[in-house]
Amino acid sequence: MALAAEVRAFLIESCSVTGGHIGAGLGVVELSIALHHVFETPQDQVVWDVGHQGYPHKVLTGRADRMDTLRQEDGLSGFLKRAESDYDAFGAGHAATSISAAYGMAVGRDMRGEDFKVVAIIGDGSLGSGLAYEGLNNAGASDSDFIVVLNDNEMSIAPNVGAMHKYLTSVQRNPIYNRVRSAIGDIADNAPGMLHDAGKLLRRWEESVKSFLTPGVLFEELGFRYFGPIDGHDLKQLNETFKAVREMKGPRLIHVITQKGKGFPAGEHVEKWHALPPGHDPTTGKQLKAATGNANYTTVFGKGLVELMAENDRIAVITAAMPSGTGTGGAAKQFPSRFFDVGIAEGHAVTMAAGMATRGVRPVVAIYSTFLQRGYDSIVHDVAIQHLPVTFCMDRAGLVGEDGETHAGLYDIAYMLAIPSMTVTAPRSGTELLGLLRSAMAHEAGPFAIRYPRDNSPDVVSAIAEIPAVPYGTWEVVRSGTEFAILAVGTMVNQSLAAADLLAAEGMNVTVVNCRYLKPYDALTLDAILATHRHVLVVEEGTVVNGFGAYMASVISSREPGVRVTAHGVPDRIVYAAPRARQLALCGLDAAGIADKVRSLHGSEAVAG
Ligand SMILES: Cc1ncc(C[n+]2csc(CCOP(=O)(O)OP(=O)(O)O)c2C)c(N)n1
């Protein structure tokens, strides 16, 4: 227990400086110790889910002295990463991958005749995800030597939702069952003579009927031997159970009850302590330096959405386990009957929205760009092919800073542009975000996607009542120049304007266009640009492969083949954690980088010409 206390104190202190996902890790300190104690890691493969609860695991596997670099450039990842340690059996960041990945390892082990144990850990929130069921369903039908640990803390980021959650909590926390259980325990442990023997008998009986009284029956039906629920903060019980279960064969599941945020001095975990910023008070969780600047896009969106929902009672909101992260908590409070948290189930969220849209509802699906990747087939098959008016609000589009490569929203432009009936947009400001949201609500003909970054809005945003829709399919020329035009997307508009200022000081007069509609594009404005410019640079905060630049290159080559087009976006490589501004600079997507790009193209043109 001394080790557990030491790890907790260390994490609370080090995270108060670096920031990070402190809540989940504090809940699994004993669990991490027991896993490493009983299993022969790293030979036995221990596969954590999501990875945000991996901090104690990092500390216990030789990385304590690097915890001060957590989530920083060239530092320790905030999640798990195979390249970081032999003990990180599988990379993580998105939820509900552990069972499938670990089962794959067990299958690989057996194919190659190797001998080691495989353990997947999954949270109760992630167990609500379809991927987790797919893994259980597949693994449970096998006779593989395979262990799942269910880390049940009743929390996703927000309090967990859904029928599975109700199922897990209803029986095991049933007061009658628990009273009977502890009475049996008392008799077995403390009663003298015959009563003691009777208590032992009762305990055996209790074991045999337990599966009817605990959530075990569901897992047993899925092909897993069920053990638990056990106290995830009782090291002795954890060690004993793991030791016994380790030696068995076949699929088995250990249900562990933990408390998220355990030991955090500010008291029991609440949603806001899921992740904390760098430089917070370790006793209260409060940020020491107050945040400055305008409201961020998430807040602007959340507020505007509530106002729009007040105007139009057909609007409903769907989030996949991220009410606060997506800014939809206000909608949940004000319009609970039109707010749906479906759990970590992005594909379901999208198809459910499609169903709602067939009944005249106007669903707004608020999911981070990176997590919406999970819903891609639903977007194509259920929404787009049927031209259903579902609005996708994709927060965290682009580079996301310290959350790093697993959470970067770099692919949504490419994946949304590829879909025929999809309107694809990106605002340059908070005001334009709300204008586009209004446009989306007016667009009945098919789906509408809006992408916005993890950043503050560059402007102060008024009430949505004062913000008009952004005329459908239009661009805005924000600076007029000659010869060289920058077609800029979203966040890149202001960076391009700043680049244009730098270039103007050198005597180059560059046009900058705000391409807020990526699809449909503004053909009138584009033709005007092509008639008066010789070179177009397309700048976007998304992968350069198959992005807006690639799209414009194909459009322009057929409209005006004499104009040179260059795509400038996030290069075709993984961009690792660093502050967002630094990531932008590394990708050449800040003002200096864009100006450099223009200079180099201009120079090469002069030479070529
Ligand atoms: C596909 C996906 N959707 C959403 C998230 C955001 N997210 C990170 S942790 C988390 C909650 C996970 O809850 P649980 O599995 O119970 O783990 P705990 O935090 O309780 O340890 C969510 C929704 C994610 N990482 N991946």
Residues 54-89 pLDDT 10s: 999 999 999 999 999 999 999 999 999 999 999 999
How many Cβ atoms sit within 10 Å of the Cβ of residue 333? 11
User: Which tens digit of pLDDT belongs to each residue from 464-489?
Assistant: 999 999 999 999 999 999 989 999 99
Position 179 scores a pLDDT of 63
Contacts of 142 (CB under 8 A, 6+ apart): 103, 107, 223, 251
Contacts of 417 (CB under 8 A, 6+ apart): 424, 518, 519, 546, 547, 548, 551
Confidence of residue 609 (pLDDT cuts 50, 70, 90): very low
Torsion of CA 104, 108, 114, 119, to 10 degrees: 0
**325-357 pLDDT, tens digit each:** 999 999 999 999 999 999 999 999 999 999 999
Q: What is the pLDDT of residue 159?
A: 78
Residue whose CA lies nearest to ligand 1 atom number 11:
156
CB of 155 closer than 6 angstroms to any ligand 1 atom: yes
Model confidence at 11, pLDDT cuts 50, 70, 90, reads very high
Predicted pLDDT of residue 13: 94
Distance in Å, CA 321 to ligand 1 centroid = 8
Q: What's the pLDDT tens digit per position in 124-177? A: 999 999 999 999 999 999 999 999 999 999 877 777 788 877 777 765 555 566
Instruction: Give residue 268's pLDDT band: very low, low, confident or very high (50, 70, 90).
Output: low
Q: Of ligand 1's atoms, which has the minimum distance to the CA of residue 27?
A: 21
126, 148, 319, 376, best to mutate for ligand 1 pocket (most atoms within 8 Å of CB): 126
Q: What is the pTM of this model?
A: 0.93
Distance, CA of 212 to CA of 180 (rounded, Å): 14
Q: What are the angstrom distances between the C-alpha of 9 and each of 3, 192, 263? A: 10, 42, 8
Our answer on whether the CB atom of 125 is closer than 6 Å to any ligand 1 atom is yes
Lowest mean pLDDT among 43-57, 204-218, 220-234, 542-556: 204-218
State the average pLDDT for the chain. 92
* Candidate from 47, 53, 156 with most ligand 1 atoms within 8 A of CB, to mutate: 156
Among 157-161, 246-250, 337-341, 378-382, whose mean pLDDT is lowest?
Answer: 157-161
Specify the ligand 1 atom closest to the Cα of 95: 26
How is 530-567 classified by DSSP, letter by letter?
A: HHHEEEEEEEEEEESTTSHHHHHHHHHHHH-TTSEEEE
pLDDT at residue 237 greater than cutoff 90: yes
Dist CA 597 CA 564 (whole Å): 14
Convert the pLDDT of each residue in 392-408 to its tens digit: 999 999 999 999 999 99
Provide the pLDDT for residue 207: 60
Burial 232-256 (b: 16+ CB within 10 A, else e): bbbbebbbebbeebbeeeebbbbbb
Does residue 124's CB lie within 6 angstroms of at least one atom of ligand 1?
Answer: yes
Domains detected in the chain: 2-257 (3.40.50.970), 297-466 (3.40.50.970), 476-608 (3.40.50.920)
What is the reported pLDDT for 185?
A: 62
Q: Is 232 in the pocket of ligand 1 (CB under 6 A)?
A: no
pLDDT above 70 coverage of the chain, percent = 91
Beta strands per DSSP E along 128-192 = 146-152
Ligand 1 centroid–CA 129 distance in Å is 10
For residue 23, the ligand 1 atom closest to its alpha carbon is: 19
153 lines ligand 1 (CB under 6 A): yes
Q: Which atom of ligand 1 is nearest to the CA of 93?
A: 25
